[in-house]
A = this chain, B = another copy of it.
């Protein structure tokens, strides 16, 4: 587990209408971007208390944690256990008691007659208020209507000179939602607790939306996100604070735990609103006519010291800090590393094993495993058949040597012969076909699972999204394993990630020939992937259009693809649904992975490939 380190951020120098004589009204906010484990109430509580303590030590007035931080996100059907909900209340009580001298905003599951996805506002050892999430996402990977009743009651908290509102994840994605309402209610700061999962490019559109909310409301917007992997999902962190003109004031790292401190000069809001009074008009037409419908919750002065306008000069200044946001291949690669690390470790495993074929999928998977777990925790097994080429053997061994991982070779010829003999009578007179190919793949799967069973290693599967989409993979064979690292990575992106990782490496990493050789499953003599599939640079755009976008044939053909090919490809996709249903989970890096966000029936006679 990454050891979190506090980083602090200086807000941009105040600008605009702020040259009055009195001291600036400055609030120090801590973004506690933590990595909880689903279901781990004691562990998550400990983590929250740790970050709370560090926020206090950093002089924070407020510290905000992600959505459902106590339970982890998404807790799924754990939320159908009364015991679990009650235990999360006990955890909250512990956190509340620890808030002497500070205000903490903490996501939890509230039992109040029914169950709410809620944010507790805990202040100076007391539970002051609870906000109940109003907008429950129930699309894509989200199923919140299954678990929660929507809240109906936004409010504004008043702490000393600060007026702030709290809401939860989806609430801020709705333009007319609680965020707007809070801002018309003259909040100076909206704090949004999120567990917003990653896909490639998500942080850009999210930042754009958050900046727009801030500039629309002419206020500060703080977004605190979960970081870490949970089954298919990776939460990227990327917590942010935007100022009243939509300018980014603070950012937490991507894919790492972090505590970020930021000083917010509240007078900037008043000054900016004088120049941008859109909210006056909007408040007139807002539901409930703006402020009138908002409850105010006043947080009492701190017991130890009456809370006046906190003067920033009492606190040590926050040093400037530069963070670089990973983009493109780097961002995706890091998501895969974090997802792999957290799935393995949070499930109590230390060591992984995978088959090395000499090809690029297993090479990239091994590379990700090494970056996630360390070379000492990775075993690569080369499982040659009589059809395996010399080049594959060399490349598999070279990869293992480059990566510094444990390497074994177990030929599978004897098992092939045994099965052939057992089936000879039943198969008499039938030509060889994919049956014999699948058997090789399943022998390899069995051997890897035997190593897993004997040594307690998790098997990583190496198939990519192109293969899983088309069913170009063997159920119980190369699909056998605990985690499918590349399940949402199209083959063309596999190459891009391999090249990216090689470029970043200080020493030889993935052998060049592994990247340049034509891909082959080597399940019969001279076999190439292109015997069964179109070239990946043709295949992948068709798959993206069909699998991720649900486009119909005509629309895909209009992209410039041959109609017969489009039909053949989507037929393969539809007919492989039963395989995907038995596939291991993998890391979601696109807006539509082959997981809980794509729920097709197996029994399905909608056949868009037909005339």
Contacts and interface: CB of A to CB of B under 8 A. Distances in A.
Interface of A: 37-41, 43, 74-78, 80-84, 138-139, 143, 145-146, 229-231, 342-343, 346-347, 408, 410-412, 414-415, 417-419, 421-423, 426-427, 430, 433-435, 438-439, 442-443, 445-447, 449-451, 453-454, 475-476, 480, 482, 550, 552, 578, 581-585, 598-608
B421 A450 contact: no
B601 A230 contact: yes
Contacts of A423: 410, 447, 450-451, 454
B38 A601 contact: yes
Given A430-B454, A439-B446, A231 B138 contact: no
Given A346-B603, A411-B422, A422-B447, 17 more contacts: A38-B603, A41-B606, A77-B599, A77-B600, A80-B550, A81-B608, A82-B550, A84-B606, A143-B143, A143-B599, A231-B601, A423-B447, A426-B451, A433-B453, A439-B450, A443-B446, A476-B480
Contacts of A231: 601-603
Contacts of A41: 606
Copies of this protein in the assembly total 2
A521 to B, nearest CB: 15
5 contacts: A43-B605, A80-B550, A81-B606, A346-B603, A419-B450
Given A138-B138, A604-B39, A450 B476 contact: no
B476 A449 contact: yes
Contacts of A84: 606
Nearest to A75: B601
A414 B421 contact: yes
Nearest to A430: B454
Contact of A601 (B78, B435, B600): B78
Contacts of A550: 77, 80-82
A44 to B, nearest CB: 9
B605 A39 contact: yes
Contacts of A599: 76-77, 143, 146
Contacts of A438: 449-450, 453
B552 A81 contact: yes
Given A41-B606, A410-B423, A606-B40, A435 B450 contact: yes
